[in-house]
Amino acid sequence: MSKHQLRRLSDAGLVAEAPIASIAMKTSILALAALSLPVAAFAQVPGGGVYKYPAQQMADGAHKGDTIAWDFVEGITTEVGPRQAGTEAEKRGRDWAVNWLKEQGFKNVADEPFMMNTWVPGEVHKAEIISPFPQPLVVQPLGGTPSTGPEGITAEVVEFGSLAALNEAPEGSLKGKIAYVTHAMTPSQDGSHYGYFGGARFVGPGLASQKGAMAIVIKSIGTDQHRNPHTGVIRFPEGVTPIPAGALTLPDAANLERMFDRAEGPVTMKLTLTPEWIGETQSGNVVGEIVGKDPSLPPVLLACHIDSWWNGTGAFDDGAGCGIISAAALHVSHYGQPLRTIRVLMAGAEEVGLHGSVAYSKAHIDEPIAVAYESDFGADRIWRFESNFRETNPELHAKLAASVARFGVANSRIVATGGADINIARDQKTAIIDLQQDGTRYFDLHHTPDDTLDKIDIDQLRQNVAVWTQVTAIVANEPGSIKGE
């Protein structure tokens, strides 16, 4: 590896404190990260191996043979299945998780209720091309959008090659029309395409309404080639009339685009989507604890979400995440009581607008937490470690990064901002860690009927549990401030 190559890695935030000089070509990035390891006690372990930290023993065990995370995600997807926020299905999911956490030995297990305005997808989801090439297309409603009524809406479809093109349409130009917006999303390891191309969903429906459209269909925000619509929440801006909005599968979107290429006149669609807002219902946040030796110290918070979209079984999103965080907490506890309490938060109603995260922060804002981190990006391997205390507590940051290097996790200079369910950490301005998972195939499955147990690779799931166990063992036994401020 040349100095130039190293500098580029360093500039990219991938090698934080690695010395540049006198490194043999074969030295890996992981080995470089290890150079910044503090000297630590060595412990003999069963089988004759040597561990630098007790935490390594737990993590390596989890890496080889964790069954806890799989048990959670297999159990909840089989015995409950889809868990649409605010519905009785989500309630069954929370009940299931409460029972499971108690059975596993968690303490202070509770379902902390909150009220929410609840949307359900309804029964009829149809998009039919009426002319010039009559055929059915596969569609599902986007979360929070209104119904077309059971009689449907029949109108000309106007094609936009991007969100930017829709944005340029003159005001009123879509009156009486259905807008169609496409995008060019491709798979990305860090999932950044979702933020960039997802605007067709996040913003497209509101924009189309502002231009006068009576409805909108989008190419699903996803990267697969199956007949799976990718749903997901949208919110119409204040003062903008909500319009029915649906996601076509990627093959159907491609077909529609070919129709635009071939049609000599307008393309007309009948769209029938019958979602409903059913008023205020109860959701809740499921919590449980591994109680620490010193309850006066702020706890560490491990988060996921318990709800899922109706169309899959919530395996990748986010049954796996709840399994991973619970398994990590348990592995740490199985090796002895940690110094700090480890709290797991399985937030309710994340998908439809982070209701659980908001409610949790509101309810617990006056109870300081030490550090928070979340698993909500599928079940594929963790590849990058980030914190928001690399500058304020460099020794701990380096220790944590080094501790997970052997699982193929790189250090990073990116400042962690946390996931959807740890609003409380942002509100309290406390320490945050991001254990970034490989998102290459995440958007093949995200918010689709295909989010089912069979998509989970148990070896990668175990790598997640191992990394989480390693990190949790360190922070839960850290006596000083994690943030270091």
List contacts with a second copy (CB under 8 A). 74-75, 77-82, 89, 92, 129, 132-136, 138, 225-228, 250-252, 254-255, 258-259, 262, 312-313, 448-450, 452-455
The nearer residue to a second copy, 65 or 136, going by C-beta atoms, is 136
In angstroms, the CA 234 to CA 20 distance is: 47
Provide, rounded to whole angstroms, the least separation between the CB of residue 135 and a second copy.
3
Nearest alpha-carbon partner for 297 in 388, 361, 371? 371
Other CB atoms within 10 Å distance of the CB of residue 6: 20
Query: Which of residues 11 and 79 has its CB atom nearest to a second copy in the complex?
Result: 79
Query: CA torsion sign, 32 to 477 to 320 to 185?
Result: negative
Alpha-carbon span 310 to 89, nearest angstrom? 9
Of 305 and 455, nearer to a second copy (C-beta) is 455
Which of 70, 420, 446 has its CA nearest to residue 226?
Answer: 446
Whole-number minimum distance, CB 331 to a second copy, in Å? Answer: 24
Q: Which is nearer to a second copy, 136 or 295 (CB)?
A: 136
Nearest CA-CA partner of 432 in 374, 479, 381, 362: 374
Task: Specify the residue for token string 């449980």.
Answer: 288
* Residue number with CB closer to a second copy (81 or 187): 81
Min CB(74)–a second copy separation in Å: 7
Do 318 and 238 meet the contact criterion of CB atoms below 8 Å apart?
no
Residue closer to a second copy, measured from CB, 152 or 206 = 152
Structure tokens at 85: 């926020």
Residue 310 or 383 with smaller CB distance to a second copy: 310
Q: Which residues pair with 366 in a beta bridge?
A: none
Q: Are 457 and 379 in contact (CB under 8 A)?
A: yes
Indicate the residue among 134 and 336 with the shorter CB distance to a second copy: 134
**Least separation, in Å, of the C-beta of 253 and a second copy?**
10
Alpha helices in 216-278, H assignment, sequence order? 250-262
Query: Closest approach of Cβ 326 to a second copy, in Å?
Result: 19
Q: Which residue has the tokens 């619509």?
A: 229
- Quick check: 351 and 281 in contact, CB under 8 A? no
Shortest Cβ 145–a second copy spacing (Å)? 21
Rounded-to-integer distance, Cα 65 and Cα 56, Å:
14
